Amino acid sequence: MNDQNEGIKDNSPHKNFPFTKWGLATSFMIYVRSFNAISDQEFMDFLGLKGYHKAFPPLEFTGFHVVFANDSEWTHIADDLRYTLWHSPKTSEAIAELSKTYDVFRNSRGDIDDSFEFEYYRNGTLARKFVYEHNLFKGRRAIAADVGSKIVAEPNTFEEL
């Protein structure tokens, strides 16, 4: 434990780590079912992340970074808290291109409310899109988009959201 976290009893993360004790701090993720056929560098090129390079913690919590993780099937790509990928027009182009060859799932969640959305692409087409809007300031909740067949573990009723 360093001086900055001295005395904190809840194991809060160091300010320079984009990870918390509960997981990764991000509001936007992309998952590509490429079976590790695409390198992190190739993903960075697809996403237009020029000037990015591989780095290791500690990373500035609010800095510009994209986190990559892989399992046996999926590559997980997590945006930074500045929403670099979320705001980039290149991201939608990359998802469209990647979905021609691989399954792609993208999701985002609200940073101050319970809003969330996801899209699942299979065989180059949108198979599922769901958008749940929660306007914290107006106290309103609504399903704004519900396209395609539900995917595994998706809630069946509005109350389950």
Report the C-alpha gap between 161 and 144 in whole angstroms.
13
3 state DSSP class of 16: coil
Report the C-alpha gap between 15 and 139 in whole angstroms.
32
pLDDT tens-place values along the chain, 161 residues long: 333 434 444 545 445 445 544 456 788 999 999 999 999 999 999 999 888 877 666 566 666 778 888 899 999 999 988 889 999 999 999 999 999 999 999 999 988 888 999 999 999 999 999 999 998 888 899 999 999 999 988 888 877 87
Closest CA to 81 of 10, 29, 129: 29
pLDDT tens per residue, range 86-107: 999 999 999 999 999 999 999 9
Residues counted in the chain: 161
pLDDT at residue 56, rounded to an integer: 65
